[in-house]
Each structure stands twice: as C-alpha cells, then as structure tokens.
Amino acid sequence: MPRLLGRASLAASRPTLTCGRAACMQLDDEPRPVGSRAVRHGTVAGGAGRVTYIEDWRSRMFVLKNAWAELMRHKLRTLLTLLIALVAAFGTLFGWSVQQANTTAVTTDREALAPKAIVRMTSAQSAKYDGSDDSWVKNYLTTSDYNNYYSVVTENSITLANVNASMSIPARQTKDSAQAIAGTADQDADKTGGEFTLKAFTSVETARDNELGAYTVVKGKHLSYSGKAPDGVLISQALADADGLKVGDTITVASPTDASKTKKFTVRGIYQYTDDTAMAGHGSDAKLAKDNRDNVIYMAYATMYNLGWSNEEASDWSKPDLSYVFEFSSMSDYEKYGKKVASKIDKKYALSSPTIAAYERKVEPLTTLASRMSVASVAVPAVCGVLLLGLTLLGVSRRSAEIGTALVSGVTRGRMAWQFMLETFFPVFVGLGIGLLAAGFGSKALGAALAGGYATPASGVWRGIWLSLGTLLVLMIVAGLRAVCFRPATLFKARDGWTASVGTTSTLVESDAAADDAAETSDASEEHAAGNGEEATA
C-alpha cells in the first residue's frame, strides 16, 4: 500500500539554497525612493568589485505610463471627470462675473447717472381720465406749479444741468386734409377737442423722454429746434400709410376750441415707435382717436408757441398739458431734490425720473440673471465638487490587490500614491483649464445674450484659478492617501479555503512523520533481532 512521502523524501524534493561567498550578494545600502536618482549598491564578495544599478528611462516613466494606462482603461470615467471639472470652472466663474456686473450696475454705474426729474400724474389719478370732458384740464400742472418746484433747487443750492419742457393740446381734423385713425368709441370734436394731439418739445433730449414711447424717424428729417423749419412736423408711419402721406406733403388741422382756426403744417419726417406695445388706452385700443399715439403730431416748442392756440388760464381743451424736465448733475442732487420737494407735490402727482426708469429697464434682465446665478454659483461648484470626489474615490477603490502586488514587487508607497495622484490630476486639470478659459473669453458675450445686451466681462479670474488649484490639490491628496494608508495586513487576510488547506497540510505532514517513525522503529527491531541470532550461533 503506497504511503505518503516520508520526511527524507519530502526534504529531498525541496530545492536546497546554498550561498557561497563568491555567489551570494550582500546589500550594504537601503533602497532609495524611485525618481530620486538614488542608486542601490551591492558588493560581490571575493573581490568582484562594486556594482551600481541605475534605473533607466523606462523605470523613470513607470508612474506616468501606469497612470495614463489606467485613464485609458476607463475612458468613460475619465471623460466624465473632465466634463464635470469643466462645468464647475465655467459655471463658477460665469456666475461670479454676472454677480459682479450686477453689483456694479446697481451701485457704481447707477450712482454715475445724471437723472432727469419729471412730476407726472399717478396711475390712480390717470385712471380717472375722461377725454370727452374738458373739466379734466383742471388736473394739468401750470407754469406756476413748476416755479414752486424749482424754488427747491435755489433754496437748497442744488445744481441743475438743464431745464426742458413739453406741452400738448388736442387738434381737430379738417375735411380736405388727413384724417386721424379712428378710435373705438369716438365722440364729437366739440367734446374731445379734436381727433389729433399736437405735442411739442424744447429739445431732442426731451423728445427721448416722451411718455408715449421713444420713437425714431424712419423717413425725412428730425424736428428743427433752432427755428429753421417753423412749420415742420412729424407724423407716424401708421398715419402716413392710412392717408397716403409722404415727406413734403402738407397736413391741415384746426383749433381745439374753434374749428374755423386752421393751420397747415409740412410733413418734415415720418416716425415709428421703437417699442411694439403702447400703454393701455394709447394704442389701437384707444377709445378716442386723439388718445391713439399714432395720431400724435410732433413739433418744436417754438412752433406750438407761435401757433397761439394754447392758454394756461383757460378751463377748456385749449389749456396745455405742461411738463417740465429738470436735469440734475448727479444722483445725489436728484435724491436730495426728491426729499425736499416731496412736501410741495400734490398727492395726485409723483416725482419720477425717466433716466432712472430707462436704466432700470435696461439692467432688469441682468438683475434677474444675477439672482439666479447667486444660487447657481454656489450649487454648481458644490455639486460638481461632490461628483469629482466620488469619481476620485471610485478610481482608487477596489485596488487593494494592485497595491499589494506592487508593494510585494518592491514598488514604494510613494510611487503608488504619485500614480493615483496623476490619475486624478490629468482629467481634472484639463477640465478646469478649459472651463476657466471658456468663461474668461465667453462670459461677456454670453452675459450680453442672457442679460438683454448688458455686458458681463469676466471678473474674479484669479479667485477662480486659486479655487481650482485648491480643489485639484485636495482631490490629488485624497487619491494619494489610498496608497499611503494601505495596510500590509490586508495582504495576509485569510481567504476562503485557506484555513482548510493549512489544516490538511498539517495532517499530511503529521501522518508522514508518524509513518517515518514507525518505519525507523521496525528497522531497529529487525537489526536488534539479527544481532541476537548472531550471538546465539556463536
């Protein structure tokens, strides 16, 4: 019956390691870290001399090549990391740019305005308007009222850059001339004062602050405020189309209180409003023709004055609707004036600034965008940072076998940590770099597109760069700690089947030893018996 190998046989089957003085190398220095150009010295006994082993360029590129190979092995994760880093950098820097632009717009730029001030009827009072009742003219402000408002300027040493004015009165259409665009509920001109509205300005600056809406001359010339064209007027494109009028034609209108008083004007230009929507009741929805802004005939203030149809003392439609514009040199002067004049303004009116109103309309899209970006500029880097951390941990997890094999093979922890750090560095650095460049060059154009044309030049670039570098450093450290904190005990943890194998091996060895002992005892007995026989024969 075959038996297990004996102790002698087991010993004979194992290789014998001999170390002679001439064949065995004794290391006299500890290995130095890879990449430090340190060498490992060995002395060959027996006078063979000193041998120096120097790493070649392939060894020095070991970490870089391994890191790159790992990135290429997981292309999707690498690309995702790059894209998230790009979004984080771009979103953060763009958000800061928008917020900084908005802060500048509502503080520095706003304070630099030279506001114009106008006293106008409140919305509540305007809602009571009845264009067929001439008693409405009692609500019009007079020159005396504006002199009272102006006294605040002189009493408080406030500097005015300029003073402009506008006024308007209704006018009747005539049978042999242009006809106004009809209203939805027109009434007799004796009640309304006419189908047209004559509106005059002292300057082009006042015309820009027109409460009916800004307009531009699309045909012909602008008004002459120097008196070179005393009878020149502007009519709307809609009125010109309705009556077949063109530049150079004449239009005849009559006095609001006397149809026999007529005046012939020359069409100097044709205008069109820059905004598409008129105020309620002043567009195609106007009940009376004179309230439709397309029926307004614009002229110079001197032309209206020379016409002689207005009378501030009247109680009918010949009383002009006056509006004076005070132009201040600074925002502080305007605010000071507003506080001082408040007590002099009737509750039916309110001080307003078309300059500030126009500016606020301009920056409103920017303010809206900034309010959204205030949340996004925090959420985007936070979410992207968490995702990058998760991808970094995913990239270095479940690599215990790789780390252990490398350590057993003589690779240092530092080398493995550096490899993991490079695996994080490449995609994150490229993504952050592209994101910062894109935000730096694209913030202005993108902000203008999203903020209604208000430019948002990139700001906080250096802050973004330092934040990006800090984030990159943290992620690299997290990746490197995976190798640095690896426990050697992990290599020797019991795995399934190991305990059983060790137990079986112990049993086999013990059985083999017992068999050897039994064989030796049997041999000794036989030798002892043979010796006794020889003695008996003798």
From residue 43, how far is each of 32, 55, 305, 366 by CA, in Å? 17, 18, 116, 76
Q: Is the pTM of this model over 0.85?
A: no
Residue 321 contacts residue 160 (beta carbons within 8 Å): no
Nearest to 177 by CA among 194, 193, 191, 192: 194
pLDDT at res. 434: 96
What would the two tokens of residue 8 be?
């002698």
Dihedral over Cα of 466, 468, 472, 475: its sign: positive
pLDDT at 329: 93
Q: Of the candidates 165, 137, 141, which has an alpha carbon nearest to the alpha carbon of residue 301?
A: 165
3-state secondary structure 468-487: HHHHHHHHHHHHHHHHHCCC
Q: What pLDDT sits at residue 117?
A: 95
3-state helix, strand, coil in the chain (%, to 5): 55, 15, 30
Q: What is the pLDDT of residue 469?
A: 94
Angle subtended at Cα 449 by Cα 447 and Cα 450, rounded to the nearest 5 degrees? 65
Query: Residue 366 CB: number of other CB atoms within 10 A?
Result: 25
Per-residue pLDDT tens listing for the chain (538 residues): 344 334 444 344 444 333 333 333 333 444 444 444 444 444 444 333 333 344 545 555 778 888 999 999 999 999 999 999 999 999 999 998 888 888 888 999 999 999 999 999 999 999 999 999 999 999 999 999 999 999 999 999 998 999 999 999 999 999 999 999 999 999 999 999 999 999 999 999 899 889 999 999 999 999 999 888 889 999 999 999 999 999 999 999 999 999 999 999 999 999 999 988 889 999 999 999 999 999 999 999 999 999 999 999 999 999 999 999 999 999 999 999 999 999 999 999 999 999 999 899 889 998 998 999 899 989 999 999 999 999 999 999 888 888 888 888 888 888 899 999 999 999 999 999 999 999 888 887 887 777 766 666 666 788 889 999 999 999 999 999 999 988 877 666 645 444 444 444 444 344 444 445 544 445 544 444 444 444 333 3
The whole-angstrom separation of Cα 326 and Cα 426 is 62
Write out the H or E segment, with its range, that includes residue 289. none
Report how far residue 449's alpha carbon sits from residue 161's, in angstroms, rounded to the nearest whole number.
Answer: 35
pLDDT value at position 446? 81
Where would I find the beta strands (DSSP E) of 174-210?
196-201
Between CA 465 and CA 477 the distance in angstroms is 18
Tallying the residues shown for the chain, one arrives at 538
Q: Exposed/middle/buried for 261, CB within 10 Å: 0-12, 13-18, 19+? A: middle
119 bridge partner residues = 351
Tokens matching residue 15: 């290789």
The kind and range of the H/E element at 126 are helix 123-126
At 326, give phi and psi (nearest 5°): -95, 120
Look at phi and psi of residue 478 and say left if phi exceeds 0, alpha if psi is from -120 to 50, else beta: alpha
Instruction: Please tell me whether residue 538 adopts helix, strand or coil conformation.
Output: coil
